[in-house]
Each structure stands twice: as structure tokens, then as C-alpha cells.
Structure 1
């Protein structure tokens, strides 16, 4: 069996390795077409990014209100980003790092596209404000109050030139020169009333152009600082490196697959040769086995006869042990019953003797009254005064009657306890059964064990009453024997989940876990040799099992033990009857 298991494991492992190698050689991470498409996408994205950067510079140099080059560059950049997004899942399949780099690159492309739109609007605004500045400057240069060739005329022309240079490319040196020229024009405006409005308007237009130019420069700087080119180079390098590594690994797996397939063919050839040899050996072994089977049948019949005889002997010994258990229990029960009968019988006999002694005195009193002799009557009344004797006789006869009733009740309990049941279909009150068992074992318990009853109103239970009485008697006797000295036995009944539950809890010595695990096994006992057979709780367990019930035990060393018996409230029908009929010996077994 072990060899077959190892063989099956080996074959399974070989097949798994073969499948893994085949999958490794066939599951190429990228096809050639897909690889070229991804490289093309990366190249197109690089071109689109470089074009967008170039359009930023061109748009600044043109200062046109219609920056078509920026819009076209943004559109081309968006198309290239969309193409890269279509390959994002493919990059994720290749490597998680590549997928992260591609995702970051897409974010930068979106940011650059947004900045291009902003820059386009800023350039248009700059071109518009610059045109306004040029219009105001040209009007000022031809103003009659501003003669050509004058210092103010020269300053205005210089201002226009510097502002134009600053609009094309912001330069701190231009800005200082422009500020100096604006200060001069402001001073001139204070003295030249005719030119004051034109000069102030020119100054405001100049300030507007400078602000628009600064904003456009800041946006252009942000665009140039985006590391799209570096990220593209890094992504392309990682991707190409990974692709080359994957191709190398696939080639290596193909080589391993060829070698492994050759090894498997050699192994299978060797196995086939060995199987062919084994078939011949199996044929020879089969012939020898048939011969052995013929001899084995005779040996089995002989051993079966021996086992049957040993089994019959074992059953006989078991019956003898059960009978011994029954006789021991019977002796204990007879001793208890005799004691319980002797007590009321003793005081009933004494009361009868007292009444018998009083009968001659009563007869003498009657005779004296009948004779009419007054002296004789007086003497008889002194010997037995009726006013005292009659109440005493009534009390003595009442006590004797009570004792006889106790004896009769005990006899009736014994009759109920020991009656033979022929099926499990008789309805029985479990509370009455517990009280009957308590009466029988009262001699063992009274004087040292307190009985606490907590009875619920139970419906009649279909069962064999004598067997159930036998269970209660055994559990109560065991509880009493477990209590060394004074103690308590608490009995509780209730209905739970269509089951009648009886709990018998004692304050005895308790049991450890190992003892609890074996108490229902036949012949297991903790009593000294000669004090018990170990069949009591085993028979109890079998009776409860025959009634489709269950018995549980909870015990703690030094605290006590609780037995919990559960019996179904509904009859099992013919199944329960046939079970009781099949083993009638259960009905008369008494356990110690």
C-alpha cells in the first residue's frame, strides 16, 4: 500500500513538473507585435512631449493671440497618453514596478496637458495686453506734445523695446531697466499735463504686460520641470531589460523541458520493462496463492470453531458475573427492606401487646358492670379507668395502623420496582420511580445523607418501568457510597427539548477525568477486589441506550458528581418493542 502511494505521488509530481515546464515555455509575457506596439507608443510619447516643450518656447516668441501650436501639441500629448493607458494592464502583467512607473507617467502627462492649456490662455492674455501696450505707445509717440527726438520720446521708445524683450523672455535685468524707465515717465507725467494721462496709461499697460509675462514664465518653468523625459527613459529601459530577461528565461525553460522529457521517456521505458517482468512473477504468485487459499479455508474453519467455543465460554462467564452482580444487589436490597419493615413492625407489635394486656382489664370492667356489684365496679375502674384507657387504646391502634400502612407501601413499591415489563410502551411517571428507589435504598442513606427533591411536572414517559427503576436505584446507591459520612443528594427533574431530564447530584469524593472516561465500560470499577464487578454502570448505560436516551456525567475531585439521564417523551413504536423483546434478560438485572 505504501509503495503504491509513493508511486502515485511520484507520477503526480512528474506530471505537475511537466505541465509547469510546458506552461513556462508557452506563456510568453509579450508577443512580438505587442512588444513593438509598446515600444512605438513610448517613442510617440517622447516625440509628443518634446514637441509640446518646443511649442511652449515658440508660442512665447510669437506672442500671438491664436496659439494653435500649443493646442495641437496638447492634443498630440493626450493621444500619446491615451495610447500608453491602453498598455497599462500589460505593463502590470509584466511587472508591478513598470505598472507603477507607467501610472506616474500618466499623471505627469495629465498635469503637463493641463499646464499647456493654462499656458495657452496666459500667452493669449500676454499677447492681448502687449498689443494694447503697443497701441498706447504708438499713439503717445505721435502726440503733438511729444516732439520727436526729445528725451521723453526716446525714453518711451526704449520702454517699448525693453517691454518687448521682457515679454519674449523674462529677464531680471530687463525688469530693472523697465522699472527705471517707468519711474522717469512717472516723473515726467507730473510736469507735463498734456501727456499725463497718456503716460500714466502707458505705465499701467506696462505693468499689466509684466504681470502677464511673469505668470507665463512661471507656467513655462513648471512645464519644463516635469520629468516626463526621464520617466520615459526609465520606463523604456526597465521594459526592454525585463523583456530580454523573459526571453532568456523562456529559452532556458525550453532547454530544461527537452532534457526532462527525455528523462521521463527513459524512466517510462524502464518502468515498462519492469512491469513486464512483474507480470510473469505475478502469474507464478497467483498459482501459489490459489494453492494456499485451498489450505487456508480448512485452517479458517478450524479457527472459527475454536473462536465460537471461546465466545460461548465468554458469554457463560459474563452471565455468571451478571448473576453475581444481581445476587449482591439483591442481598443489599433485602437487608435494607428488612430493616425498613422491622422498624414499623416492631412498634406495631409492641402496641398490639399493650392492647392485648389491656383486654382482660376491659373484660373485668364489663363483667362488673353487668353484675351490678358496685364494689367490684369500683375496683375494676381503678385497675383500668375508661377515661384514660380508651384514648390510649385509640392512640396505640392508630400507631399500629400507621406502621402497617408503611409496610404495605414498601411492599407495593417493591412490587412496582420488580415487575416484569414486556415492552417499552408502558407510560411511567419518573418522579414516582425516583421515590420508589429512594424507599428501597433508604436504609443506606438515612441518618447521614440529606435528600433534596426538585421535581418538575413531567408527562408520563414510554419505557420499561422496572429497568428505569433499576437505573435510579443504581445511581442513588452509587451516590450514597460516594459520600463518606454526611452529605447531600440533590435530585432534579425537568423537560428539555422533548426529553425528560433527571439529574442526580451528590457531594461525594468525585472522579478524575480518566475515571469518567471509563465508568461505563464493562468490568471497570474503582472498588476493592470483591466489592464490585464493574457491571453496574455498564448495564445502566445499556438500558438508557435501549430506551433511545442518553446519560452524561460531570464530576470534580473533592466536590461531587452529577449524573444526567435524558429519556425521550415519545415512543419509538415497534423499534423500541423489538429491542426490549430481543434482550429480556435486561428486565430482571439489578445493579449494585
Structure 2
């Protein structure tokens, strides 16, 4: 937007702190190559447009805003003479994208001294060559440092996740090994018992009936209900009594296995009806091995399924086999992160999921959002541990103002009011030395705000802290890194 051109006075611009050390010749050049413009209330330039001018305010009031999702959020308002904005990185040339990082508007008639971006870059290079080199070094050095810090933070998170994943994988793997060893033993005993039965006084019809019962038993084990401890104890007593009444030794030892498999006295009556009384103990013993074998195979199946789920969660979390930018289901990302971090929760931290499954998939960088979830969950666990290690982590999703909300709530100590405005600052941490880098929330803020054009905020009282992330439902602009403009 263009303003009304006005006379440029070297004397007036010499009173601006940017130019107060310049000589008359330099001031004269600024007025020759630059201009003074007067803008009525309204926009001066818009975020994302090519950065063509450098603005220094002579008088008036300016407001800077940054686009977050579909909204323009005010980030600065001032009436101080000499504040500047616009093409401040023009001296870097084509090495960076020359676009306005925020929107600028004025709330009253405002005059600016204006330099074109090319003129500003030439003057910087000609008048301040050393300062220009220093600024270039600071700019690119800061970018490299941020990149290195981000990689370091991801490595720290990966190390923590790897330790947790190793622990989580070890449990089902060990269970599978134990079950496999027990299964080998049970199958050997089953073969022995079968040879004993074959040598006994069984008729062909009895053996056929027994094998049919074995098949039905295997089907019953697969459908075994989950019983409360009290229900299981009652059933064990009934089955133990039945076994004792029918002269089967060690009924107390067999009863828990039969109950776990969902078998009852009706099933035992079918077994008793299929064979003669003198061979009933051998038949029940053989069927017990069948039951134990089925239960062990179920345990192996459960263990290997859990290992598979953990591996899938690791792939989902790392996004190694997927495009960096894609349309993603946040619930899949949240579930994979929670599963990867489950080793940190223990039995004293309860995880509650309040998902709105009707929410649409959103355009995102999934691997980086997983890093945000990791940082926030890790902070929540630390907060809960700080008050005794027992509490609740609540993860909620919802639609809010046409944006997707992801909220992490914990029952920890809370974030004190006096530091709430600093928690997203780089290197600020409340954790003990050696336990936190102070970069987790800073990196999370950059990922949510800069890369996804979303927002992140915290609401906290002791016992109820909530980190709220809002993500746009539509495609974000290309990756940008806004800088301070005033």
C-alpha cells in the first residue's frame, strides 16, 4: 500500500536514533534515495508479501501482527519515534526469502521514512561493511545453532524413547520366551499322555468322542470370559469339588487352569459321559494339557502382537517411511507417542484419552508434532512426579473455532504465575541441573507456530495444568521463521 509523499528533511531524520551518527552528506543521500510517506489508518504491508521497503516511523502509532492459523495476532504496538520494520534482512540478498514476516498497520495518520529494499541493502553494504558481516554471521549462526539445538533435542528425546522402548519390548519378548519353553514341555507331556491313553482300554468310539471334546475345548479357550477374582475363586471351588468327587487327584491344581480357560462343570460332565469311569482321570489330565497348550499359545500370540504394535508405534512415531509433510490423523500420532512413552507412566500415572474421533485429518509435519507431544508429555510426567508421582495425564482433542485442539492436562504442581510468560523462552527450565535443557517448549513453540501456523498456550493452577495446541484444518504456508520486526 502506498502513502502520501511528503518532503524529506535531513534535519528531521537526523533526530531518529538509527541515523543520529550520520554526517550531512549521508543524511542528504538518505533523503535523495529515500522518501517520506504519510499513511492513513489501515494496512501498510501484509505478512508474506515480497519485502520491498524498510520503514522507520517519524510520528504516529504502528501495530505489528503475526498470522496464527486464520487469525492475525497482535505482537507489538508502539508510538515510539524511530521504531523500524519491513525489509530488515535485505542486506542478506537472495540467501534468504525476502518476504514480510509480519503485517504492519497504523491506527492514526502516521509518517514513515521509507527506503527501498535495494537501497537499504546498498547503504548497509557501503556504510557499514563490518556491521553487515557481523549481522550475517549472527543471522546464519543463529539458524545453524537452532538447527543443531533442535537435532540435539531430538537425539535426547530419541535416547529416552529408545530406553523406554527397549524396556517395553523386553517384557513381551521375555513372556514369549517363557511361554514357548512351557509350551514345549506341555506338548511333550501331551504326547506321553496320548501314548498312555492309546495303550489303555479305550474303545475307538471313546477316543473319537474324546478328540471331539478336545476340539470343542480349544474353541472354548479362545472365547474364555474375563472373571473377577471373586468369580474365579468361586468357580475354582466348584470345579475342584467336582474333580474330587470323581476321584481325580490334584483337583485343586487343575481347577485354576480350567477356570482361566472358561471351562465349567458342564464341560466336565461331557468328558465324564464320553469315557468310562476308570479312565476318566487320564482323559481329564490329557485335556488339561490341551487347555494349558492353548493358553500358552494365546500368551505367545498376545506377546508377539504387543511387540508388533510397539514396532508399528515406533515407525509411526519416527515417520521414517513417510513423507515429511502430509495429511495426518493426530490421534494416530498421539497414540504412537503415548505407547512409546508408556514406560514413563508406571502404575501410578493414569492416562485418560478424550478423543473426538470425528475430527478431520490435518496437513502437518507428523514427526515434528510427535516431538511436541513428547516434550509436553515428558513435562507432565515430571510435574506429576514432583508431587509424589501419582496423578492423571489427560489427552483431549476437539474442534475449537474451526481449528483442531490438542490439549494435555496433568494434575501436577502447576506453572507459577510469575514464570508463565517465560516457559517458552530458550534455555529456561525449572528442572534440576542435568535433567532439562530448557529447549523443549521453545522447540515446541517453533514447530507449532512457525511450521504449522498454529498456537500454543498454557493454563495452570496447582493440580490442573493444561497445554493447549491449536492447529489449522487447512494447509499451512511453506515453512517460515518469523523474526522480531520492531
Q: TM-score, normalised by structure 1?
A: 0.44
1:332 shift after superposition: 1.0
Report whether the alignment pairs 1:408 with 2:305: no
Q: Which has the higher helix share?
A: 1
1:268-283 superposed matches below 5 A: none
Q: Distance in 2 between matches of 1:321 and 1:285?
A: 45
- 1:579 pairs, out of 458, 466, 479, with 479
- Indicate the residue corresponding to 1:327 in structure 2: 155
Question: Which of 436, 448, 459 matches 2:360?
Answer: 459
Tell me the secondary structure at the aligned position of residue 466 of structure 2.
strand
Cα distance between partner residues in 2 of 1:393 and 1:462: 48
Q: Secondary structure at the match of 2:470?
A: strand
Report whether the alignment pairs 1:353 with 2:161: no
Counterpart among 441, 454, 462 of residue 549 in structure 1: 454
Checking the alignment, whether the CA contact within 8 Å between 2:329 and 2:362 is kept in structure 1 is yes
Task: Give the gaps of 5 or more residues in structure 2.
Answer: 1-8, 16-22, 30-123, 203-277
Alignment of structure 1 residues 26-105 onto 2, 5 Å: none
Distance 1:354 1:482, change over 3 A: same
1:102 maps to which residue?
none
Matches within 5 A, 1:154-233: none
2:371 paired residue number: 470
TM-score, normalised to structure 2, is 0.53
The answer as to whether partners of 2:448 and 2:455 remain within 8 angstroms in 1 is yes
Task: Give the corresponding residue for 1:499.
Answer: 403
Aligned equivalent of 1:338 = 166
How many residue pairs end up in the alignment?
291
Pick from 428, 445, 468 the counterpart of residue 524 of structure 1. Answer: 428
Query: For residues 568 and 311 of structure 1, what CA distance do their matches in structure 2 show?
Result: 29
Inter-partner Cα distance in structure 2 for 1:472 and 1:569 = 18
Work out whether residues 157 and 374 of structure 2, in 8 Å CA contact, stay in contact via their aligned partners in 1: no
For residues 317 and 569 of structure 1, what CA distance do their matches in structure 2 show? 31
Tell me: higher relative CO, structure 1 or 2? Use CA pairs within 8 A at least 6 residues apart.
Answer: 2
Deviation of 1:4 (Å): 6.5
Greater fraction strand: 2
1:398 aligns with 2:298: yes
> Alignment RMSD, CA only?
3.8
Matched, 1:441 2:341: yes
Distance in 2 (alpha carbons) for counterparts of 1:570 and 1:402: 40
Structure-1 separation of matches of 2:456 and 2:422: 14
| Contact 1:361/1:383 (<8 A) preserved | no
Quote the offset at 1:306 in angstroms.
4.6
The 1-side partners of 2:390 and 2:430 are apart by: 21
How far 1:367 sits from its partner (Å)? 5.6
Residue 387 (structure 1) aligns with: 287
